Amino acid sequence: MSLLVQPAYSNSVRTSLEPFFHEGDALFPLKAVSTSLHFSRNQTIFNEGDVARYSYKLLEGGVRLCKIRPDGRRQIAEFVLPGDVFGFALDEEYSLTAEALGDVIVLRWPRGQVERLAEELPALRKELMAMLCRELSAAQEHLVMLGRQTAKERVASFLLLIANRRDAGNGDPLLLPMGRQDIADYLGLTIETVCRALTDLKRERLIEIPDRHHVELRNLAALEDVAEGGE
């Protein structure tokens, strides 16, 4: 019998600041059964509905986890950054599609290994639970963004969100491994609306945009105001 049961889903959670497994990491025991793989831009790592044979940890690059509807509408549930674990399916099938944002290196291990190890290792179980919880908590915040924030608020929140995932925001420009369309699909907006919001923020001197994959947050407090709907 397996610890990992019932419903399908995928997730991604930062387990440590270092992309690779280290001694002391609750997932370290998986290192022995892991192999690394490369994917390039827009390549599919797994599809929603695929049999979930593996779980993954992102070492380099960025990944989007999304749902794609029959008519092509796409909703990105989450961006995976280096160090995050994803494709953490607990059912037979992945509940999200994973695609590479650019060049990507992942570590991958058979799902069954986790189930087996978790039986023996309480620390691993705890870490799994903790990852699920962080996942869920993030999804709840995401719901608020999509349901109750304006376009500009969402874009500001998004920038702050990415900034907070990077280890303790310093002053230098934030790396955005995803394109504008990806941001739009994460925020439930169109690419044009995302652009306009970014342009607005730039005009108001809250951010700088040295190039399309970098944003410098020049006024965190003001950005937070915008994100919270402060006029």
Partner DNA sequence: CGCCCTATTGAGATTCATCAACTGCGGTGG
Partner DNA sequence: CCACCGCAGTTGATGAATCTCAATAGGGCG
**Residue 126: other Cβ atoms inside 10 A:** 12
- Region 170-209 residues binding DNA, contact defined as CB under 7 A: 179-181, 188-196, 198-199, 209
What binding mask, one character per residue, do residues 211-230 give for DNA by CB under 7 A, x or -?
Answer: xx------------------
User: In the complex with a second copy, which residue's Cβ is closer, 99 or 135?
Assistant: 135
105 binds, among DNA, a second copy, none (CB under 5 to 8 A by kind): none
User: In the complex with DNA, which residue's Cβ is closer, 172 or 192?
Assistant: 192
- Residue 150 CB, nearest approach to a second copy (Å): 10
Please, what is the angle between helix 111-120 and helix 122-148, to 10°? Answer: 120
Separation CA 13–CA 132 (nearest Å): 8
Residue in the structure block whose two tokens are 């001694």: 23
Q: How far separated are the first and last CA of the chain, in Å rounded?
A: 55
User: In the complex with a second copy, which residue's Cβ is closer, 141 or 172?
Assistant: 141
Separation CA 27–CA 25 (nearest Å): 5
Residues that bind DNA (CB under 7 A): 150-152, 179-181, 188-196, 198-199, 209, 211-212
